[in-house]
Structures are given as C-alpha cells and as structure tokens.
Structure 1
C-alpha cells in the first residue's frame, strides 16, 4: 500500500488535495458568522422596542411579556423566544423558553404570543418573520458541517492512504480550523466594539 509521502507528488493525490473540503469549511463558517451577526442585530432591535414599550406603558397590561436571545452551539446558532413568568405578586420575573411549532420547527406559531400587547405582537411578528430564514439556513449549515466532517477524509482512505496518516491530517486540519475560528471571532468582536 502506498504511503502518503509516496503519493504527495502524484497526480491523483494532488487532485485529492484540491478536493479537500477546507475552503468549504471556511465559506460555511463565514456564512454562519453572517447569520450570527444578523440574528444578534434582530435581537438588539427587539430589545430596543421592548425597552421603549416598558417606558411608555401606562397600564400593567401594556407591558411586554416576551423576550428573545440567540443560542450558540459549536457549529450552530438558534434564535429563540421566551416568556416572562411572574411570581410573588409580579415582583420577580423568570424567563421560560418557548417551543417552536412541531409542524414547522423553524418557526414559532403566533398563537403562542396570544397574550402579548398589540404593539409587542406586531414587533414579534416582524422579528420572527426575519428569524425564520436565519433558522433554516443555520440548520442547513450545521448539517453541511456534519456532512463535510464525515466525508472529507473518506476520500483519502479510498485513495489508499494509511489510517495513521489520515488521522494526522485530521488533527492538523482541526488545529487550522481552531486557529481560523479564533481569528474570525476576534475580528467579529473587534468589529462589534467599533460599532460596525
């Protein structure tokens, strides 16, 4: 069986190197960061409206009852909604996460928000309409990451590369991706500090 160093300068190996999925990882990661920025901007818009509504509410029934945040996973982002549950005569509020529709998991049913004041329901409807494509695209990207991770090195194994060499390449790729990810996160946080 040929070793990796024997294959390094042969035509098929060079083609396999060009086929490796690192550029796809980088593009997908950039798209995921774009989605993250869009979702965070929408959350910020909601909280501005939420705060304005709290300040202008004349009666208790006009106060906002809902909130939204973005959950972050390793290769996944999910915008979600929660409702404030009150206890002790409405003195303490505890956020209770809401579940998306079981029929359409990328979308929250507007029936969940039935007790929101009219102004808050309109804001939720607008923000949720923009969250739906973000959730769908983020789900696609997380599945894409899983597909790439599962199949990238299978091509090298099929070309006859030894298993220890494939594992070494996997470790090197993982280290490069960690470095790329930390660099991208630093750039995003620097841009956020500058207000971009």
Structure 2
C-alpha cells in the first residue's frame, strides 16, 4: 500500500484544505474503488469538515437503489459508462447533502466486464455552477484499457491495485480543479 500512503502526502492534504477553504463539502459513490477515495479523504486530519459521506455501490443493482442511477441507463449501457459516473456523482451529492458529488465506475480487472477491458473507467464530479447556483456542472475523466503484457500470476493483482489508485488520483485531480475554479 505504499502508493496509498503516497496519496496521503501533500496532494491529498491539499485537496482537503482546498475544499475547506472553498467552503465545499463532498460525497462519493464508488464502484471499482470500493470506498478507497472516501478512505483516502478521511485519512487527512480535518477531513470531517469537508467529507459528508459515501456510498459503496459495487453491485450494479445498488447503483440504482442506493445512488439513484436510472435503471433504464444501467439496462441500456451497463455500469461502466460515463453517464453512469455522472449519475453516481449526482446521487452521492443528493443523498449525502454535499456541495460536490464524485462518481467512480469502471473495470479494475483482471477480467473484462460487459465487454470493457480492465483499465476502462470513468470519474465524474458534479456540483453547482459557482457563478449561478442553479446550474449543475459536470467534470469527467476517463481511463483507457491496460494491455495484458505480463503473464506473471501476481501481476493481475498489482495491475488491479494500480488501476484503482489511478482512478482515485483522477478523482483527486478533479476535486483540486473544482476547488481552484471556485475562487472562494
């Protein structure tokens, strides 16, 4: 977990401080990361001022029942889709009463899911338009499939871990951008 400890370094603390200075709270709805983003954020002293809570929606049906992702969207596109990430973020934001919602979905591997190879992922952050509080703003990041280059039997687990950390890192980048954009 050295990479996780690295996330806790200055960059992670800077995101929490940035959210605090901007007066923003955040909630997560996590699928492939299984709560890793929430755990990372909550590891920073003072995070209780910004982290409202999170939903772990690993199973597809929970994306609908807990996070409010439309069943029609899940049926039409499956759980690994950019619009699902947006719906997860919106659901976390609404259900936890946060200013910002973060939705994370994708395939960590080692096996493909619904035709998507490992390393395919989507992260979305939703929140109010800070210039016009009635408008929702969505920012997304997308991951690309990871080639299967190493037959070593330990490699799939390491690859899975790297993918999950990459997704958390992308979410932190989006949150940092959002803090900067808030100008508060």
Normalised-by-shorter TM-score class? under 0.3
TM-score by length of 1: 0.25
TM-score by length of 2: 0.26
Q: Compare the two structures and name the one with the higher strand fraction.
A: 2
